[in-house]
Amino acid sequence: MRVPSSPTLAWNDRPRSLTIQASLDQVVADAAHRNELRLAYVRSVVLLISLVLDGLVFLFPKPLMGQDQIPPTIVIISFCATLVALGLVHSLRQEMALSTLRRWQVVIPLFDGLLLWAFITNIARVFGESQPLIFANIAAFCGLMAVSGGMRLSRRAAWLTTVLALVNFAYGAMLFQASLAVGLFAAVTILGTGLLGLWMATIVRRHVKNEAGRVLMERFLPKTVVQAAFEDPLSLVQRPQKCQVTVMVTDLRNFTQFAETQDPQAVLSFLNRYQGLLVHLVEGHGGWVDKFMGDGMLAVFGAPEPLDNAADQALRAAMAMLAEVQQISPLAMGIGLHSGPVVAGCLGTGSRLEFTVIGDTVNVATRIEALTKSLGHGLLLSASTQQQLQDWPLVSVGLQPIRGRHEGLELFTL
């Protein structure tokens, strides 16, 4: 008889993929945000110093500049630009979504371009052609603007700052009536600086992709294992760890017969939701999922990092599973717990490696889970696990034979 479809089986794995993609996007956003904030700090410091100097020049034009007076527009523009720069620092100190940051990466370079244009205009009005070194300073500022785009992790931003820098330089060269040869040489230098910014953006983006890869790998492996893989990969391969753990093995009852009556896509969607719940509960109690075996799962509490009260945490996770799985699954589940030593490390050679735990403890946990069906209990745990628990109302189900072992084990249940 066909089992009727339910909302559970209509579920798909899109929310999970969106969560992973959002995590990866957030890594990029965080790095770009930090760089933009650093640029904002530098901009604010430069403008504050410039404001002080402009104020002194305005108040004491004769001793400082050798002129009778300086137009007040220099101080006014400097003051307004400083206020805007400080406002940008305040805004960038807040949390910001990637879409919002991308808009800022266009608006802020445009502000910088306008600021540079105002600086060139005012400096030309004050000095004209009498201070040729000022033109060199303008070229330097344009070069800084061109290279700043590379820190924004965006090729679009890098090209935008380069174009704005070249436009401002051309405007300055026209006002200061620079020779064609000097103008072309400086323009090529600024363009090269902008291209260097593009190259910097590529390098930084590659670094950010590595961080994004780290975030993605943490979806599959413990964080300590991922950290070791990135910082010292040889130690991860060459130095397996011996750990005292509690192993959890789960399985769904009659899943094979159930899957025969369902559309394969519906079965996959159901498993995605079911396994997502198990991962959430295991990780919420300090464990990690070693692997899924179809509808079965192997989870470990206490490796590769020690976990206080690993047996208690495993039992709490098991109780939560029995309570919550029945809300989303038409099938009952069995859970086996066993505590003992395992070796945690990379298994395999050549191009295929898998981080896992191996040892008799894992095999016994698998055998205990298999007995949940014949003994009619949803949860069974070994005496070694029971001895590590604190104040749990457990009931012995007697000494049970364990397939593949000469001696039986006393098992317990709630």
Question: How far apart are the C-alpha atoms of 34 and 144, rounded to whole Å?
Answer: 18
CB 84, CB 111: distance < 8 Å: yes
List the single range of 70-74, 79-83, 258-262, 398-402 with lowest mean pLDDT.
70-74
Given this model, what pLDDT does residue 226 score?
61
Name the nearest CA neighbour of 310 among 321, 320, 295, 299.
299
CB 87, CB 43: distance < 8 Å: no
Instruction: Tell me 302's DSSP state.
Output: S
Is the sign of the CA dihedral 120, 121, 123, 124 positive or negative? positive
Q: What count of other Cβ atoms lies within 10 Å of the Cβ of residue 404?
A: 10
Rama region for 23: left / alpha / beta (φ>0; ψ in -120 to 50; rest): alpha
Which percentage of the chain shows pLDDT scores above 90?
A: 4
Cα 267 to Cα 253, 299, 324: the distances in Å are 15, 22, 19
Q: Is 333 helix (H, G, I), strand (E, B) or coil?
A: strand
Question: How far apart are the C-alpha atoms of 54 and 77, rounded to whole Å?
Answer: 10
> What average pLDDT does range 181-191 have in this prediction?
84
Name the nearest CA neighbour of 299 among 286, 308, 312, 56.
286
Inform me whether the pLDDT recorded for 95 exceeds 60: yes
**Cα 71 from chain centroid?**
51
At 205-226, the pLDDT tens digits run 677 666 666 666 665 555 656 6
> What average pLDDT does range 108-132 have in this prediction?
78
Given this model, what pLDDT does residue 68 score?
74
CB 287, CB 307: distance < 8 Å: yes
> What average pLDDT does range 99-109 have in this prediction?
83
**Cα 338 from chain centroid?**
34
Helices (H) and strands (E) in the chain, counts: 14, 8
List the single range of 19-28, 277-286, 335-344 with lowest mean pLDDT.
19-28
Given this model, what pLDDT does residue 26 score?
67
Inform me whether the pLDDT recorded for 33 exceeds 70: yes
CB 299, CB 246: distance < 8 Å: no
Inform me whether the pLDDT recorded for 61 exceeds 50: yes
Q: What angle do CA 151, 119, 179 make, to 5 degrees?
A: 95
At 15-24, the pLDDT tens digits run 445 555 566 5
Label residue 305 by pLDDT band (50, 70, 90): confident
> What average pLDDT does range 315-330 have in this prediction?
87
Inform me whether the pLDDT recorded for 278 exceeds 70: yes
Which residue shows structure tokens 């009778």? 68
Q: What is the CA radius of gyration of the chain?
A: 33
Beta strand pairing call for 288-293 and 241-252 = unpaired
Label residue 3 by pLDDT band (50, 70, 90): very low
Which residue shows structure tokens 């040892």? 359
List the single range of 102-116, 205-219, 394-408 with lowest mean pLDDT.
205-219
CB 397, CB 336: distance < 8 Å: no
Inform me whether the pLDDT recorded for 67 exceeds 60: yes
Question: How far apart are the C-alpha atoms of 6 and 10, rounded to whole Å?
Answer: 7
Model's pTM, two decimal places? 0.53
Which backbone phi and psi does 234 adopt, to 5 degrees?
-65, -35
Given this model, what pLDDT does residue 86 score?
92
Q: Is 126 helix (H, G, I), strand (E, B) or coil?
A: helix
Given this model, what pLDDT does residue 11 score?
37
Given this model, what pLDDT does residue 58 score?
80
Given this model, what pLDDT does residue 10 score?
38
Inform me whether the pLDDT recorded for 12 exceeds 60: no
At 130-183, the pLDDT tens digits run 556 677 778 888 888 888 887 777 788 888 888 999 998 888 888 888 778 878
CB 361, CB 340: distance < 8 Å: yes
34-48, 135-149, 171-185, 233-247, range with greatest mean pLDDT: 34-48
Amino acid at 104: W
Question: How far apart are the C-alpha atoms of 153 and 212, rounded to whole Å?
Answer: 14
Report the DSSP beta bridge partners of residue 297.
250, 292
Amino acid at 272: N
Q: Is 200 helix (H, G, I), strand (E, B) or coil?
A: helix
List the single range of 75-84, 216-225, 246-255, 370-379 with lowest mean pLDDT.
216-225
CATH topology of domain 233-413: Alpha-Beta Plaits (3.30.70)
CB 409, CB 383: distance < 8 Å: yes
CB 300, CB 224: distance < 8 Å: no
Q: Which residue has the higher pLDDT, 263 or 348?
A: 263
User: What does the domain layout of the chain look like in residue ranges?
Assistant: 14-217, 233-413
Task: Look over the chain and give the mean of its residue pLDDT values, rounded to a whole number.
Answer: 79
At 348-366, the pLDDT tens digits run 665 566 667 778 888 888 8
DSSP state string for 127-189: HTTS-HHHHHHHHHHHHHHHHHGGGGT-HHHHHHHHHHHHHHHHHHHHHTT--HHHHHHHHHH
